[in-house]
Amino acid sequence: MKIEKENVKKLYDGKFIKLFDLQYAPGKHYFEATRRNEDDLAAVKTDEEFKKMIPDAVSCIIIVRSDENEEPKLLMSREFRYPAGRFLLSPPAGLIDESDKCAKDPLIETAKREIFEETGVKITDKDHLFTVCPLTFSSPGMTDESNALVCAIIDKNDLKDLSHENITGTELFGDFYLMDREEARKTLKRGTDSFGNAFSLYTWAVLMYFVSGLWEEEK
């Protein structure tokens, strides 16, 4: 089955979100919410375009190593998520800007910018920054919203300069959290943060990647 561009109808066009009617057969309609314009919808891309698609955003897995005698920690924070109406445990994340898309590696470029904006940490050549997953859909039953997962392994003994001072727009943050593997494992097992609140699927993926130790296989 293929959804043709001529069978796509825009129902709502907002600044940050759009709604489309995807007619997939005569008299058959499916509705999707998206950040994308009509000519960039995942549903109407060719197979080759789909495989090369740049995601909407990047979520960052930040693993901090301080010294040989201390266990690595996962850096997270609590971000206010408006649809959930509360602060949720979250990794640094953000949309890929048009300027990022012009970079040699848009995902890495976005990750560097978002990490600095949301934590105050500047990624240097001494840090190890790599893509874990180039594109993953959040809820493809209702939206083509997608994120890449990028991991930053940083060696930093002093984290006193952690800051949210560089954030822009509607973003609102609470405290930072440095989680060791045991705390991350317990959070995964509970399915809630220390306040008893649920969290996003991307937070789950970040916690799972940290706990699994797959990042240690990267050179």
pLDDT of 69: 64
| Same-domain status, 47 and 137 | no
Q: Quick check: 198 and 191 in contact, CB under 8 A? A: yes
| Same-domain status, 107 and 9 | no
pLDDT of 64: 94
Return d(Cα 57, Cα 68) in angstroms, integer: 33
Burial tier of 5 (Cβ tally within 10 Å: 0-12, 13-18, 19+): exposed
DSSP 102-142: TSSSHHHHHHHHHHHHHH-PPP-TTSEEEEEEEEEES-TTT
Residue 6 has φ and ψ, to the nearest 5°, of -70, -15
Q: Which two tokens stand for residue 83?
A: 């649809």
Return d(Cα 182, Cα 11) in angstroms, integer: 47
Domain holding 43, by residue range, is 5-51
For 180-205, what is the mean pLDDT? 96
Express each pLDDT in 18-49 by its tens digit: 999 999 999 999 999 999 999 999 999 999 99
| Same-domain status, 119 and 47 | no
Report the half-sphere exposure of 177 (CA within 13 A, side-chain side). Answer: 23
**What residues contact 49, with CB distance under 8 A and at least 6 apart?**
none
| Same-domain status, 91 and 18 | no
Express each pLDDT in 124-141 by its tens digit: 989 999 999 999 999 999
Spatial CA neighbour of 122 closest among 158, 74, 154: 154
Express each pLDDT in 151-160 by its tens digit: 999 987 677 7
Residue 68's pLDDT band (cuts 50, 70, 90): low
| Same-domain status, 20 and 103 | no
Residue 219's pLDDT band (cuts 50, 70, 90): low
pLDDT of 67: 73
pLDDT of 2: 87
Beta bridge partners of 34: 18
| Same-domain status, 21 and 73 | no
Q: Quick check: 149 and 59 in contact, CB under 8 A? A: yes
- Lowest-confidence region among 11-20, 62-71, 112-121: 62-71
- CATH number where 104 lies: 3.90.79.10
| Same-domain status, 38 and 98 | no
| Same-domain status, 23 and 101 | no
How many structural domains does the chain have? 2
